[in-house]
Amino acid sequence: MRLKCGALLLGLMLAGMAVTTNSRVSADAADGEVLVDPGTTFANVYRLHDLPAWSKDGTFRPDLIMQTVQDQVLPKHWEARGGNATMAPYPQEGALVIRASEKMHQEIKAFLDKQRPGR
C-alpha cells in the first residue's frame, strides 16, 4: 500500500509539473528517463540511495544535497534565484524530483555522478 501511495504521489507531482510547463511526460519512461518535447522543461527523478542524504536514524534528509545542487549547477536558473527550475524531495523513494531544461538535467546528472562514491 505504501509503495502504491508513493507511486501515486510521484505521478501527481510529475503531472502537475508537466501541466505548469506545457511539456509532455511519458509514464512509460524508465528510472531517470523522461520523454518530452525538445526545448522544454521537464521533470526527472534522481535517486540518492548512494549519496549522504540520510540521518543516522535512517530519516531521508536531502537538504544539503539540494542546496549544493542549487549552488553548483547553473545557480541563476533555479526558481529561488529568479529562474524556472524547481526541485522537491521524494522521500518514499529516497530521491529528488527536479523540473528543468534538458541542459540543466545533463549538468545535474554529471554533478551527482561526480559525488557518488568510487567515481
Structural domains of the chain, ranges and CATH numbers in brackets:
2-115 (3.30.1370)
Helix spans in the chain (H): 2-21, 63-72, 102-115
Q: What is the pLDDT of residues 60-116, one digit of tens each?
A: 999 999 999 999 999 999 999 999 999 999 999 999 999 999 999 999 999 999 999
Q: What is the pLDDT of residues 93-105, one digit of tens each?
A: 999 999 999 999 9
Q: How far is CA 10 from CA 55, 62, 89, in A?
A: 23, 17, 10
Q: Tell me the range of 15-19, 39-43, 94-98 where mean pLDDT is highest.
A: 94-98
For residue 45, which of 74, 3, 73, 17 has the smallest C-alpha distance? 17
For residue 20, the model assigns a pLDDT of 38
